[in-house]
Structure 1
Amino acid sequence: MSSEDRLAALEAKMQELMDRQAIFDCIKRNSRGNDRFDVDLVTSSYHSNGLHELGSQQISGREYGEHANHAHGMLFDNNLHNVTMHMCEIDGDVAHAESYNIGLFMDKGSETGRILAGRYIDRLEKRDGEWRIVLRRATVEIALEGKATLPNGQPLPGSGYLKGSRDRSDPAYERPLSVESGGRW
């Protein structure tokens, strides 16, 4: 194999790795945007014609952030979407991804909570050098609910733990990070 062939193979492998990371970053950006009520972050994970299937509804990617904020805000004090196992197949500028997710939801009043686990099944496209979702289909395969207590049996309110916020005042947005920001339970 010539030096040029080895270099071309290395460049192709590097591009594949960069694409895989960009796809995973897009999927995680969507979840982070949901949890921080950051509509711009959620919207940035969809192409302008992107769709999000939620149950039997199909919601425009441009509208999904507002829809999710409204639903999460009405029902829950907090929510965390965790993206776990992730696989993707890339064919040129089209990718199909399957990402397992675990959604943790603190009901209003913070005394009970629920866990929903399922998968994001996504078709993404790379347009103008950027990977975004064209179609997201979300499954729910496990749903649990119960008391929301710490291992010592105490409720979160009054525990003194750092509490995230659903806006840009969340400590994750602070640069540089300090011990001054954020509310407490």
Structure 2
Amino acid sequence: MMGTADDRFAIIDLAALYMRGLDRLDGDLLLAQFWPGARCEYGVFSGPAEDFAAFCMKMLKEHQRNHHMLGQHLIDFTGPNEAYGEVYYQAYHRVFDNSGDARDLFIAGRYVDRYERRDGVWKFAYRSELVDWVRDDPATDGMVAVAPFIMGQRKPDDPLYNRQAMRHP
């Protein structure tokens, strides 16, 4: 069964909003992508989505920054209100080791999902994260400290949340 283009885009946006919730440390946004009663299986976490969102916010708060990138989405519609998906990802985390030195942690893999549509809205009913590779290196972004970059922030400080600044006078 094929879903409509609108169905596919809604599921792709769902995954992007999930990542925004993680990267901007916005637990409400993250949780809003799941149906009540949804389950998450991540190896380091197994349980209800509500607990997962709280787990993520606590864990990611310790990171200096996070950046998730999505790859291809494969979506299999099994009915008008159910679909299964596989989404490739790469995740970057600025973390600190036990001596306080900055580390660049990269994790790549796939999400394997089950989506449900209720009252015309698609959300996660089940999400699992599969890890294909991990890389942990000393931080090497000295240029960030000296270049005049606008750095991504967490909610509400990220420029994403200041739409007025994006308007031209």
Of 161-170 and 86-95, deviating more is 161-170
1-structure distance, mates of 2:45, 2:56: 13
Of 99-108 and 159-168, deviating more is 159-168
Percent identity of paired positions between Structure 1 and Structure 2: 26
Q: Structure 1 length as normaliser, TM-score?
A: 0.80
2:41 is the counterpart of 1:53: yes
Question: Partner of 1:70 in structure 2?
Answer: 58
2:73 is the counterpart of 1:86: yes
Q: Unaligned regions of 5+ residues in structure 2, if any?
A: none
TM superposition shift of 1:173: 1.4
Which of 97, 105, 111 is equivalent to 1:120? 111
Q: Which amino acid aligns with 1:169?
A: D
What do residues 3-40 of structure 1 show as CA deviations (whole Å, max 9, x unaligned)? xxxxxxxxxx8x61000000111111111101111111
2-structure distance, mates of 1:110, 1:24: 36
**C-alpha contact (below 8 Å) 1:37/1:65 kept by paired residues:** no
TM superposition shift of 1:110: 7.2
2:147 is the counterpart of 1:156: no
Q: Which amino acid aligns with 2:65?
A: N
2:27 is the counterpart of 1:36: no
1-structure distance, mates of 2:47, 2:164: 36
Aligned CA distance change for structure 1 residues 87 and 177 (closer, same or farther; 3 Å) = farther
Of 49-58 and 128-137, deviating more is 49-58
Q: Structure 2 length as normaliser, TM-score?
A: 0.87
Question: Partner of 1:143 in structure 2?
Answer: 134
2-structure distance, mates of 1:110, 1:131: 41
**C-alpha contact (below 8 Å) 2:40/2:127 kept by paired residues:** yes
**C-alpha contact (below 8 Å) 1:93/1:127 kept by paired residues:** yes
2-structure distance, mates of 1:155, 1:111: 14
Matched pairs, number: 163
Q: Secondary structure at the match of 1:157?
A: helix
Q: Which amino acid aligns with 1:85?
A: Q
Higher relative contact order (CA 8 A, sep 6+): 2
